[in-house]
Amino acid sequence: MMIELTAADGHKLDCWMTEAEGARKGGIVILQEIFGVTDQLKGVAARYAALGYDVAIPALFDRFEKGAVIPYSEAPRGRDMMLATDLDTTMKDVDAAVQALKAKGGNVAVIGFCWGGGLALRAAQVLDIACAVPFYGTRLNQYLLAPLKAPVEGHFGAEDGHVPPEMLDAARAYFPDMGVHLYPGAGHAFANNHRPADFVEAAAEEAHARAEAFIGAHM
C-alpha cells in the first residue's frame, strides 16, 4: 500500500510499503531506478516481504513530480529527472523510509537498482543501516566521497555499458571491503524481469540469492 512519509526537511513523499509475511526479520528499503516506483519494484518488494521483511520503496521523484512513474520507453525523461536531483536532499528521503522501518523495530537494509544502486552505496556511507546491496549501481564515481559505515555487496553485469570496468575498478579500489559479484553475459538491468531485452533470469536469481544471504547475515 502507498503511505506518506515526511523527510527531515519537511518534504512529504509517497512510499510503497509491503508488510512482512510470517516472522518479521527487520526492514528493507528498495531504491528505484530512473523510472520511479514501478510495478517491477513492487514485485521485488513482495519477494523480500515473503522472506519476513517489511519493505519500503520511497518515491524519490516526488520533489519534482508527485507519483511519477516513467515508461521504460521514455528513459531520457527519467534520466533528466534523476540528473535534477540533489544527493543530500535525496538521502533525506531515503532516510525517511529507513526511519519508518526502524520505528517498526529491528535493523534495516537498503537494496538499490541502477540509480538507486549508487544511492544504496551512499546510504552505507551516511545512514545508520545494517548493510546495502547495489544492483548494477550507476554513477559510482559520484560516491567516492567517504568510507563505508555499513557492509556492502554489489551485483554487476559483466557487459554493463553503464558501469564500465574502469568505473567499477575505481570503486573497488576506493572501497576495498565492498563485496562485488560479476555476472558474465549479463548487462545493465539484468534483474529487471519487466525488461525482456535486458533480463537474464539465471543471473538475477543468483544475485537475489546472494543478496538474501548477505542481508540475513547482517540483520
Q: What is the pLDDT of residue 145?
A: 94
Cα separation of 142 and 133, whole Å?
Answer: 17
pTM to 2 decimals? 0.98
Counting as low any pLDDT under 50, the low residues of the chain are none
Question: C-alpha grid cell for residue 12?
Answer: 512529504
* Residue 56, pLDDT score: 99
Spatial CA neighbour of 11 closest among 59, 75, 79: 59
| Contacts of residue 48, Cβ cutoff 8 Å, sequence gap at least 6 | 18, 28, 30, 55, 111, 212
* 44, three cell numbers: 521485488
In this prediction, residue 14 carries a pLDDT of: 98
What is the CATH classification number for the domain harbouring 205? 3.40.50.1820
Predicted local distance difference test score (pLDDT) of residue 26:
98
3-state secondary structure of 188: coil
Q: Residue 196: which domain range?
A: 2-218
Q: Are strands 12-18 and 2-6 parallel, antiparallel or unpaired?
A: antiparallel
Q: Cβ distance 32 to 1 under 8 Å? A: no
Reported as a single tens digit per residue, the pLDDT across 38-49 is 999 999 999 999
Number of residues in the chain:
219
Percent of the chain at pLDDT exceeding 70: 100
How far apart CA 12 and CA 133 sit, in angstroms, is: 26
Angle at which helices 115-126 and 87-102 cross, to 10°: 70
Domain count, the chain: 1
Q: Which residues are within 8 A (CB) of 177 and not within 5 positions of it... i.e. 6 or more apart?
A: 148, 151, 152
Neighbours of 162 (CB within 10 A): 18
Q: Are 210 and 133 in contact (CB under 8 A)?
A: no
Spatial distance between the Cα atoms of 181 and 136, rounded to a whole number of angstroms:
10
169: Cβ–Cβ under 8 A, 6 or more apart, which residues?
Answer: none
- Reduce the DSSP state of residue 117 to 3 states and report it: helix
Q: What pLDDT does residue 102 have?
A: 98
Look at residue 69 in the predicted model and tell me its pLDDT: 97
Distance separating alpha carbons of residues 199 and 123, to the nearest angstrom: 26
